[in-house]
Amino acid sequence: MRWCGVIAVAAACAPPTSVQDVLIAQRDRGDVVAIRAHAWSLWDQLAAHDAWASWAATEQLFQHAPKAPPRFRTPRPFANAGALDVETLPVMFDVRFDPVAARHLAIQHLGERTVLASAPAVPAFPSDALAVKLTWYAVKAHGLTAMPIWDGEPARERGNPDRSWQRAIAVDPERAVIPDGETAMVELAGRTSEARVVPLAQFISRELETDGEVESARLAAHDPTLARGDFVALVAAHVTTKEIPDWTWQTYWWHDRPDAGRFAADRPTALHGVAANYLMDATYSTDQPCFNPWLEARFPDGLASNCVTCHQRAIVGAADYLPVTRGRMRDDDPYLAGHVQTDFLWSLAFEAR
């Protein structure tokens, strides 16, 4: 699928100007409105229609097990001020490639580390390839589940992990409509607070229906009590498309006040339903901050992170994705010396076997 409709407002998809030329021009002139229009259109096409549900998960591609069920994974721990920082809340993720990206990976054998290590360069993905990283939060089928909400907080020296966020909500899976102003007392990360009650129906969500899903979610969320009939709610998503050589970068996260603040700007009125309950940030350059609170806020300097700058460090043999940086790396940067870059994809760097 080629994303012609995404930039129709900017170029009407008319020749001779290519999609790549239009997007690069938007990047070079800093056209934030056009970049955000592209991101919202992508979100409408993907999230509003659950497009990624049938896409191949990375473990199916990289472990050469196409019939294996997709599994949830815990966010990677990382060293922080001499200690190992680990996710303690029931947060999990999966990564999926659209059919174009999956076919390219298979044809080029990019799931095989020996191929990556011996190649002078990774063959660039097709311009209509797309990948998503989906971040989920476990919600019990009965009762209220406490969930932190990012309202924007001052950067802390050791990062702003989700367990430190100052506000929480209470997610109710059993009622689709909840009276305005209803609150409940909840406990989260050792703190008790009064939380606004919101229905699970306001999230993109999945029910855990199979034993495999349940077991995967239990391991990823560190919660052995999860069972069939419980849910995972989509709290964040990274979406990247190969429409330009450095890919386009869009990131989304759920909020109970989705119409407030700069991250709600430019959302089209045609975007409706649960997909409209997500905020968004986007970038095509290495210079401006672009982060997702569920994914990068936990890092030191994470609030100043940038998608492109992080992913340009994706190389075969990488040990980690830190430190947080901004700005384009030089071709002769010592970090890159003797290593094969993986076309901005950490999945190739970490998961090829």
Question: Could you read off the pLDDT of 218-230 as tens digits, one per residue?
Answer: 999 999 999 999 9
Cα atoms in the Cβ-side hemisphere of radius 13 Å centred on 126: 18
- Whether 333 is covered by a domain: the verdict is no
> Is residue 257 one of the residues assigned to a domain?
yes
Contact present, 96 and 131 (Cβ < 8 Å)? yes
Query: Does residue 340 lie within any of the structural domains?
Result: no
Half-sphere exposure of 92 (CA within 13 A, CB side): 25
Whether 326 is in a domain gets the answer: no
Span 192-215, average pLDDT: 96
Spatial distance between the Cα atoms of 312 and 219, rounded to a whole number of angstroms: 30
Residue 45 inside a domain? The answer is yes
Residue 6 has pLDDT above 70, yes or no: no
205: number of Cβ within 10 Å = 17
What was the pLDDT predicted at 15? Answer: 52
For the chain, the residue count is 353
| Range of weakest confidence among 37-46, 47-56, 216-225, 247-256 | 47-56
Over residues 66-122, the pLDDT tens digits come to 777 788 999 999 888 888 999 999 999 999 999 999 999 999 999 888 898 888 889
Please give the pLDDT value at position 321: 81
Instruction: Give me the number of domains the chain comprises.
Output: 1
Both tokens assigned to 343: 């076309």
| Domain contains 324 | no
Longest dimension (CA), the chain: 60
The domain containing residue 32 runs over which residues? Answer: 4-314
47, pLDDT greater than 90: yes
DSSP 190: T
Position 10 pLDDT exceeds 60? no
Lowest mean pLDDT among 12-16, 48-52, 209-213: 12-16
| Amino acid, single-letter form, for residue 55 | W
Cα–Cα distance, 71 to 59 (Å, whole number): 8
The predicted-structure confidence for 296-333, as pLDDT tens digits, reads as follows: 999 999 999 999 999 999 998 887 888 888 888 888 89
| pLDDT surpassing 50 at residue 258 | yes
β-strand partners of 315? 341
Is the torsion defined by CA of 140, 191, 281, 333 positive or negative?
negative
Residue 20 structure tokens: 């790549």
Tokens read off for 17: 């100007």
Q: What is the DSSP letter of 120?
A: S
Q: What's the token pair of residue 295? A: 């994914």
Q: Is residue 270 part of a domain?
A: yes
282: enclosing H helix or E strand = strand 278-283
Backbone angles phi, psi at 111, to 5 degrees: -85, 0
320 within some domain: no
pTM of the complete model: 0.93
231-241/130-139 β-pairing: antiparallel
pLDDT at 296: 94
